[in-house]
Structure 1
Amino acid sequence: MTVGCTIGQLAKAVGVNVQTVRYYERRRLLGPSARRPSGYRIYGEDEERRLRFIKNAQALGFTLHEIEELLDLQVSSKTRCGDVQRKAEAKLKHVEAKVRDLQALARALRSLIRDCRAGQPTDRCPILQSLEKTERRVTNDNRKTTR
């Protein structure tokens, strides 16, 4: 990317929408390095690097709030790599928990699908019956917590 590019050129260079860049600006994750007298935003290599950082961190599952924290750590002179490592470890634990939840969900769906007899009427469908039971259980739990 050339130094002094517009928001459109920056967005294209990184592969995002112009509205995405504007949104990150509103969130104070990114800002132009300067403005032309006409008011057009001007971006340089630092802003492109920061935008790529944001997109790469999102691809690893970090939220914008977490990315903001990582960016703060990046510019702090007191921060050590161990601080960043702890954030990455926390994200990994969160991802692994999600994977376990998704695997349990997949097992439950496989079991329901295995129990299903395609030719049965829907009033005997184990998938629909299971959903009713789950709904009933949630409703009962809600009643207990509201009393």
Structure 2
Amino acid sequence: MSNKPYNILVVCTGNICRSPMAEGILKGRLPEQLAGRVAISSAGTHALHGNRAQPYAIEVMQGFGVDISGYRARLLSPTMVASADLILVMEKFHLKFVKMKSFLNSVSIRLLTEYDPDKEPYDVPDPLGEPIEAYEASARIIDNCVKGVHAYLDTIFRNE
């Protein structure tokens, strides 16, 4: 591999709930041996650039030891897609949307839940507008999948 970090982009709809939580958990739980070798960011298919993460998302992440209070939403762009090595999406809709933006790129686009060791891939529920329990449920799903993402990253970097 080159000296360029392996670039992971996490995508949801508004980039204020699920993808910032996933970005935060991925960064917060990144194994020490991967620090500096992996870059993690997020964006939304329909984000309003600069919006803050939802208050419940911020609160739930505090319980995971992750601070996303300073997070600001970004609208997904073709440049982001082109610079990613792996794009993790929350829903099948996002999978189709990102594939349309990456038709000439060979980027790997996957549902985050493909990394859930216990289940077949499924959509991570969007908690927007729901009570805090919905955010907690989505965060637990994300956290479970992050373990699988880290195992995948270990296989990429193992042979270096």
- Larger strand percent: 2
Structure with greater Cα Rg: 1
Instruction: Give TM-score scaled by structure 2 length.
Output: 0.27
- Larger helix percent: 1
